[in-house]
Amino acid sequence: MLKTEWIHQYKKKLCTAEEAARAVRDDDFIMTPLCLGQPSTLIPDAIADRKDELKGVEWRWNLAIRPYKILKPEYRGAFKITSAFTGTPFILSQFQGMGYGAYAPATVFSSIKQWTYFRKPDVIVAMVTPPDKDGFVNIGPDLMFSRALLEGKATSQGFVGGPRVLIGEVNDQYIPVCGDSKLHISRFTHIVEHSSPLPAFPPPNPTEKHKKMAEFVVSLLRDKDSIQIGIGAVPMLISDLISHSDLKDIGLFTEMLPTGAPLWLEKGILTGKYKTFRPGEISASFIGPVKDLYDFVRDNEKIGFYAGDVMNNPAVIGAEERMVGINGALEIDLAGQVASLTIGNKMVSGYGGQSDFAMGCRMSRFGRMIIVMSAATRDAQGNLVSRIVPNLSPGALVGTLAVHVDYVVTEFGIAGPLDGLSIDERAEALIGVAHPDLQEELMRGAKEKGLFK
């Protein structure tokens, strides 16, 4: 292709949102990337406006971060909404009163195969940067699913998967990043130009309870560890505590880039020189809608963004010598099984990458999987309810196997290392970090299960 030929392709594919929306057909399966790579409301709303013309269309939304009109009840006649990871108010609204029937189980690593071999999307709508001088757009800081979704997956037989229709929303306010993040405009069938600001969620408000949990987690970290951690009140405090710690030569091998990364780098704590995967580089798949990270990742050669079939591949994770996964839970039973997706049969999030990293940390020499959660919560009547339980709530989906959990941290302490302990010993350790007011009740529940004979 001549260097300037892409310009003619670009102009030929350039269209309005309404014209791009007309490429959707009955019974199509539509997907978007995970987070910031999702389009603005412009194109999805144009597709939604065809609700009286279309039927049988399924749209898979993961971590929807904008109030798309297609998520409103009046669009259910033409569009079926499903999700492999909820986690935001916009998409969680689809599951109210429905249990988790519209949930589509997938880990990040398994989903790449699912969406290229078994459930190939017909239409994909994604946000991208304007093209460079050679006709390559940047997918931006959201590579978790994007490469496999946008172009299929490379195999010895060529590319498998890839959509019939690929709509790129070219946004001059989107963020170009380094890593495996470029895609040629020849891959796209439609291009819509639309300048729009990126959404940014307010930071969480950590409590004293969160601070205690963060302190316990940081006490388990060691020099030269490679860390996987997400965003939230506890991770935010962990980030802050790490920046004031004596830790040295920390590496980041993670899905979501933590908010503390800029400060760790500035203070010389984050060097990554002992990482196996691209030593010296910060390696991630995506960032959340966190404004403080937008300028940090922009064209930053110290940070590489890679697809989920790399960053969430347990074999790649396991090759790191000191891989530490830090993840949350909704419930844990006395054997150490982690329910991180649902509260009973109420959908809250999804498998995401927790089980991918749990397997990877298990394979990693000196690796550890740390599960962090508050010991108890309050029910609708204000009663204290333990999140460490004799049995998981009926309908709960297990997110991480008991054999993949090394430590459980609550505001009351650290249970672990759990590896090699009997169920009796695990139960005793977990009851020890439960809320003190509920420990006696848990002990009774354990004995009813036949423990502590």
For residues 31 and 17, what is the distance between their CA atoms, to the nearest angstrom? 16
201 in a structural domain: no
pLDDT on residue 177: 98
Q: What is the pLDDT of residue 115?
A: 81
Of 193, 219, 238, the residue that ends a domain is 193
Asked whether residue 292 is assigned to any structural domain, the reply reads yes
User: Is residue 199 included in any domain, yes or no?
Assistant: no
How far does the chain reach from its first CA to its final CA, in angstroms? 75
| Whether residue 185 is found in the same domain as residue 119 | yes
Residues 6+ apart with CB under 8 A from 246: none
414 and 295, same structural domain? yes
CA dihedral sign, ordered 95, 99, 104, 108: positive
> What's 68's domain CATH number?
3.40.1080.10
Whether residues 228 and 174 share a domain: the answer is: no
Residue ranges making up the domain that contains 158: 5-193
312 in the same domain as 399: yes
The total number of structural domains in the chain stands at 2
Does residue 158 lie in a domain region?
Answer: yes
H-state helical runs in 41-143? 42-48, 89-92, 108-113
Domain end point (choices 193, 219, 254):
193
pLDDT of residue 154: 72
Residues 158 and 259 reside in one and the same domain: no
Please tell me whether residues 9 and 125 are part of one structural domain: yes
Do 189 and 216 share a structural domain?
Answer: no
**What pLDDT, on a 0 to 100 scale, did the predictor assign at position 3?**
66
Other C-beta atoms closer than 10 Å to the C-beta of 144 total 32
Mean pLDDT of successive 10-residue stretches along the chain, which has 453 residues: 81 98 97 94 97 94 90 90 81 70 86 83 96 96 87 74 93 98 96 96 86 95 94 81 93 94 94 97 95 95 95 96 95 96 85 93 97 93 95 93 97 96 97 97 94 82
Q: Give a yes or no: residue 198 inside a domain.
A: no
Residues 176 and 214 in one domain: no
**Model pLDDT, residue 145:** 83
CATH number for position 430:
3.40.1080.20
User: Residue 29 domain-assigned?
Assistant: yes
* Domain end call among 165, 193, 221: 193
- Tell me if 325 sits within 8 A of 437, measured CB to CB: no
